[in-house]
Homo-oligomer: A and B are copies of this chain.
Amino acid sequence: MAPRLPSGVLAAGLTPLHADLSLAHEPFVDHTRWLLNHGCDAVLLFGTTGEGLSLSVPERRKGLDAVLASGVPANRLLVGTGASALPDAVELTREATRQGVGGVLVLPPFHFRQISTEGLFRFYDRLIQAVGEPDLRLYFYHFPELSGVPIPFSVIEELRGAYPDQIAGVKDSSAEWDHTEALCHHFPELQVFSGTERLLLHVLEAGGAGCISATANVTAARAAQVLRRWREDEAPGAVQETLSEFRTAFAPLPTIPALKFLLSRRLDTPDWATLRPPLAPLADAEKETVLEIADRLAGEGLLPAPDA
């Protein structure tokens, strides 16, 4: 089965909010489109970076509708549909699948921290059964540092056996190269994405699909250069290095507030500065650091223009 979702560079798209904390559809759609026109093969909506779990089911549904209504090809969207309550995950997954999205990215439910392997299997199994859509393309979201619930190979294996056409890939946000590499080798038929563009070249060389990254909101064009050079066998190493340097520059900062602050300044749009609790605004010193990074990114032509 050929994947519906393009491999390559994906940004974990940010979600702008109005001052009243409601989703700001216009800049949300604009930014998603900008990413797809500036280096992203596809965009993840409502991942961790997109504050997906901070949004209600109706908010995620309407946000997806707004992006699709703007004419973005549905297959270029990966949609975060994970939820602690199974019925919520079913509703979001079914809806996104019926809209023809490239795939859905599903976190394990992690409100009970110590769940068994059997419990984890049961969750995904019931989800797939309840969604009942042959067109489902499910990507596992492995992010143990956040969720505390790793997704063992055995669970992927078993679900892949049961639903060979519907299990499509993995986003590995463990940031452990050994784990990502093992996924690439163990599941060559799945699309394996790393959660950071630092590992992009490694993933490509290991036969993986690419990366899905928070900082790709502002570095996607550079990541796309790595991908192009790798595909054309043009020594991508140096470009990967500058790409990784940008990622490293963000390391000491709270990623989501930093990226939103950067876009709010760059685009002069207050909706980008709004953070839904439990996120909190940057300290002044952190803002200074972000503005320095922004200058360097702008100097390399990586940022959206205010009138874009």
Contacts and interface: CB of A to CB of B under 8 A. Distances in A.
A134 to B, nearest CB: 21
A277 B126 contact: yes
B280 A111 contact: no
Given A145-B113, A146-B113, A85 B280 contact: no
A84 interface: yes
Which residue, A54, A278, A279, A280, has most C-beta atoms of chain B within 10 A? A278
B109 A54 contact: yes
Contacts of A126: 21, 277
Contacts of A145: 113
Nearest to A90: B56
A57 B125 CA distance: 22
A280 B146 contact: no
13 contacts: A48-B112, A53-B84, A56-B87, A59-B85, A86-B277, A110-B111, A112-B279, A113-B148, A115-B278, A118-B280, A122-B278, A122-B280, A126-B277
Given A56-B85, A119-B277, 14 more contacts: A21-B86, A21-B126, A48-B111, A48-B112, A54-B111, A108-B278, A109-B277, A112-B146, A112-B278, A113-B145, A113-B148, A115-B279, A118-B280, A119-B278
